Structures are given as structure tokens and as C-alpha cells.
């Protein structure tokens, strides 16, 4: 029997996962190095761990180590979303409507939950 060959959807999913995890790791490493170079690791106080406070940090004009680290964490948390979206697009491209629908159902649950808890 011949070796199974990798399909387009598998290649795209693999690429989406690699992009997500390695860009997130790069941001976190850069952030940790920035914290190390600045010599202080002043954490946002625990009351500032609220999603609003952390998300505000992302859109502030100054970029420091903690902001870079947090950006990396956001990219990491969104990587599975990207992977499911890629699967939906891949299955659609392969005209596999059943699994495109399954992927979209999973994505809808994830997005619904995301907006419900962060609203």
C-alpha cells in the first residue's frame, strides 16, 4: 500500500498552528527579555489582571515587556480559533460540506463563548 499523502487542508492547518505557536513564543520571549533587560518585573497588581485592564494595555501607546508577553498570550489563546477557521476553509475548498459545517459549528461555539465571557 502507498504512503498516505498529506492533503491541502492538513498542510494549511499545520501551517496555521506553526504560525500561531511560534509567533506567540517569539512575542513572549521578546517580552521576557525586555523585562530582564529593564531589570524589573513589575507585574500589574492582581486587581489589574481583569481582562479590560490587560486588553487596555495592548492598545496603549507605550510597548513594554509585559505588553509584549500579554500580546503573545493573546496570540496563543487565539491559535486554536485560527486552526478551526482554517479547517472550515480547507474543508470548503475540498467541497467536504459536512466537515466544513462541523468546523463552523465548533468555531461558532468558541466565538459565542468568547463574546459571552468578555462582553
Partner 1 sequence: MTLTSLLLLLLAGIVTGTIGAMLGLGGGVFLVPFLALAFGLPMHQAIATSILAIIATSSAGGAMNVERRIVNLRLGMTLETTTVIGAILGGVTANLLGGDVLTKIFAGLLLLVSFMMIWRIRQRGMEEPTHQDGVLAATYRDDSTGTIVSYSVRRVPAVMLVSLVAGNISGLLGVGGGIFKVPSMNIIGGIPMKAATATSNFMIGVTAAASAFIYFAHGHINPLIVAPAALGVLSGSFLGVLLGRKIKSHVLTWVFAIVLLIISIQMFLR
Binding site for partner 1 (CB under 8 A): 1-4, 6, 9-11, 13-15, 17-18, 20-21, 24-25, 28-29, 31-32, 35-36, 39, 41-44, 46, 49-51, 54, 66, 69-70, 72-73, 76-81, 83-84, 87, 99, 102-103, 105-106, 109-110, 113-114, 117-118
Q: Supply the minimum distance, in Å, between the C-beta of residue 90 and partner 1.
A: 9
CA–CA distance, 57 with 45 (Å, rounded to integer): 13
Query: Nearer to partner 1 by C-beta: 93 or 113?
Result: 113
Residue 94 sits at φ, ψ, to 5 deg, of -85, 0
Least distance to partner 1 from the beta carbon of 30, Å?
10
Measured from the Cβ of residue 94, the count of other Cβ atoms closer than 10 Å reads 13
| DSSP H stretches of helix in the chain | 8-38, 51-58, 65-93, 97-118
Q: In the bound complex, what is the minimum distance in angstroms from residue 68's beta carbon to partner 1?
A: 9
C-alpha cell recorded at residue 69: 508577553
Q: Which helix (H) or strand (E) holds 23?
A: helix 8-38
Q: How far is Cα 101 from Cα 49, in angstroms, rounded to an integer? A: 36
In whole angstroms, how close is the CB of 61 to partner 1 at the nearest point? 19
If the CB atoms of residues 25 and 93 are measured against partner 1, the closer one turns out to be 25
Amino acid at each position: 500500500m502507498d504512503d498516505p499523502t498529506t492533503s491541502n487542508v492538513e498542510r494549511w492547518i499545520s501551517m496555521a498552528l506553526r504560525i500561531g505557536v511560534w509567533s506567540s513564543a517569539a512575542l513572549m520571549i521578546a517580552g521576557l527579555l525586555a523585562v530582564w533587560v529593564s531589570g524589573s518585573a513589575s507585574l500589574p497588581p492582581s486587581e489589574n489582571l481583569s481582562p479590560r485592564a490587560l486588553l487596555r494595555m495592548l492598545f496603549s501607546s507605550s510597548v513594554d515587556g509585559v505588553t509584549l508577553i500579554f500580546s503573545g498570550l493573546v496570540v496563543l489563546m487565539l491559535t486554536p480559533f485560527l486552526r478551526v477557521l482554517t479547517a472550515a476553509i480547507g474543508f470548503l475548498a475540498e467541497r467536504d460540506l459536512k466537515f466544513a459545517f462541523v468546523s463552523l459549528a465548533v468555531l461558532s461555539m468558541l466565538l459565542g463563548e468568547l463574546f459571552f465571557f468578555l462582553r
